[in-house]
Amino acid sequence: MSSGNRSHATPASRPSNLMRPGRGHGMRFEKAKNVRGTTRRLLGYLRPYRATLVAVFVLATFGTTMALLGPYLMGLAIDKLVTGEPLSVLLRIVGIMLASYVIAWIANTGQGVLIATIAQKAMRVLRGNLFAHIQRLSLAFHDSRSSGELMSRLTNDMDAISRVLSQNVTQLFSGLLTLFGILIVMFLLNPWLALASMIFLPLMIGLVGLVGKKTRGAFRAYQSNLGILNGTLEETYSGQRVVMAFGQEDRVLDKFDAANATVREVGIQAMTYALLVMPMMGVLSNANVAMVAGLGGWLTIKGMASIGLIATFVTYSRRFAQPLRQLGDLYNQVQAALAGAERIFNVLDTVPDLEDTADAADLEQIKGDVTFEHVDFSYVHDVPVLKNVSLHANAGQSIALVGPTGAGKTTIVNLLTRFYDIDAGTIRIDGENVRMVHKESLRRQLGIVLQQSFLFAESVMQNIRYGRLDASDEEVIESATLANADGFIRRLPQGYETVLSERGANLSEGQRQLISIARAILADPRILILDEATSSVDTRTEMQIQDALLKLMKGRTSFVIAHRLSTIRKADKIVVIEDGEIVEQGHHEELLALQGAYYRLYQSQFRGKEALQAELGSAVVEGEES
């Protein structure tokens, strides 16, 4: 992929972790263009359930019709009572009225259960699509998004949509049906009273539309800022040890308070707009009832209407305002859901910048011969990170990558694993261009052990088996034994079935690293990548890990990133990288004899070590003399 075909985001930093080398490439995505398009796309998830939806709307129609029959029967009963009809006639009307309400309740309950079932099935598909799409996106996307923001889309935004689909779709339909049903019945009963009932209708509709426009923008801002707040929470929780170690509790509290205050402000604004509808609709509804009662009373006096008819119209007028108020409230919820849907579709429309080519093939079992041919790469356009890098590793060789921080060591192995695509040049494995094979078939034959090992909140057995899911328990235990991890695992409370806490926090750093090595051994990769795998442990643990790594590296092509030069003396080839370029290659003794970049790195490390030892030695002597 050429750099001209990508958009880039500015990297915030260059951490040493292999998986997050910088903010990476920006993503191309298409926002939801309008409410209509977003709504159509969202309702598309209900399309597979068309037959059930028809049943839902039939039940909703039937239930609404039965509910509208009640006020008419009530007015009829009042007129019968006024005219002195027998009690049996009144009881018959009352019985029919009660039956209509019972039937309406049964129909509404049935359609509620059906729509809730449909909605949850649709949400399962939408949630699955979003999660699966996130898995397809490259590290560049994840580097430019906070995990809290993505979690907000998978939880808060999904919940907003779920509420609308499972509750509000049929309420919206029933509300509209009730409005039109009442209008039809009222015009059939008395056109003049019907017209009087509609005097405030334009004001009610205008109120819903005006407030709704404000509400949609406010809810979008609210949900966006809620995602930022979730990101702050997730980041703070993940780094709680660092916060406590450096006494930065007040700083993170200030940061949280600022984000929380923003959510509060936009939340108040959104809720204020949402709450405006109900009281204003109540005022207009009462004015509407007063208009109908006044005109109805005058018509009754003139003999143009009956008391029962007036009672029917007053009831219909109140029923008429109820769905309007309900529609106003539903409008707010729909706007919140659409704001969430736009954010979700934003992610779904993000185009992965690492796609297999149409003619890509599976990478067959490899030997491990690796070649970099004149490779150029940049995270940010026109800011090169690697420049004309050419490198060859024979199958089974160990290659050490050394150089100052930010030189491009981690980037080289990120390109080998195809976490990013190069700007120019070619990377080949056993002669195959890595961009012409399926990513999954490539990564299945690579093993990675990072400086900061990641363990899941599952059992030790499951964490090791993550390297190869079809492995038997015996194979898992054999891998742990080779990694020098079997001994401490068996001393855990439940041995291999001990469930680890989040990120394996109930183990030491060395124990987590040994489990990561066992996982890599189980995967049996042909190419192994070790990124500072021993830099964060004590000397004794380092010896255990080094022994496990030597077993793991045996017979495999290995790329080792290390700042401790003492750990890579026996590498088959040492590659020195400075400012994105390979400046030296060779054996340890060869590079020392050149007295170049490697010699300077080596001397700086060991002179510093000797000075430290001398300083510690003099301190001990002074202590003994005193």
- Tell me the C-alpha distance between 341 and 44, whole Å: 12
- Name residues of the chain where pLDDT drops below 50: 1-33, 611-612, 615-616, 618-626
Q: Domain 30-348: what homologous superfamily?
A: ABC transporter type 1, transmembrane domain (1.20.1560.10)
What pLDDT was estimated at residue 409?
A: 87
Q: Pull the structure tokens for residue 291.
A: 């208009």
Largest CA distance in the chain: 123
- Tell me the C-alpha distance between 264 and 270, whole Å: 10
Q: Which residue has the tokens 């049935």?
A: 110
- Tell me the C-alpha distance between 29 and 31, whole Å: 7
Residue 302: C-alpha distances to residues 305, 429, 464 (Å): 8, 98, 90
What pLDDT was estimated at residue 428?
A: 92
What pLDDT was estimated at residue 392?
A: 92
- Tell me the C-alpha distance between 626 and 610, whole Å: 24
Give, in degrees to the nearest 5, the angle at Cα 468 between 463 and 469.
75
- Tell me the C-alpha distance between 215 and 339, whole Å: 10
Residue 402: C-alpha distances to residues 407, 414, 415 (Å): 9, 15, 17
What pLDDT was estimated at residue 19?
A: 44
- Tell me the C-alpha distance between 536 and 542, whole Å: 9
- Tell me the C-alpha distance between 185 and 528, whole Å: 78
> What is the per-residue burial (b if ≥16 Cβ within 10 Å, else e) of 374-398?
ebbbbbbeeebbbbebebebebbbb
- Tell me the C-alpha distance between 257 and 254, whole Å: 5
Question: SS3 of 410, please?
Answer: helix
**Paired residues of 375 in beta bridges:** 389
- Tell me the C-alpha distance between 221 and 30, whole Å: 19
DSSP 365: P
- Tell me the C-alpha distance between 446 and 438, whole Å: 13
Question: SS3 of 49, please?
Answer: helix
What pLDDT was estimated at residue 9?
A: 39
Q: Which residue has the tokens 């949630």?
A: 127
178: alpha, beta or left? (left if phi > 0; alpha if psi -120 to 50) = alpha
What pLDDT was estimated at residue 89?
A: 81
370-598 domain in CATH 1.20.1090.10?
Answer: no
- Tell me the C-alpha distance between 27 and 352, whole Å: 7
Radius of gyration from C-alpha coordinates of the chain: 35
Instruction: Please check whether residue 380 is in contact with residue 8, taking contact to mean a CB–CB distance below 8 angstroms.
Output: yes
Q: Pull the structure tokens for residue 172.
A: 């919206």
Domain ranges of the chain: 30-348, 370-598
- Tell me the C-alpha distance between 624 and 186, whole Å: 107
Q: Pull the structure tokens for residue 212.
A: 């709704």
Nearest to 404 by CA among 573, 611, 578, 527: 578
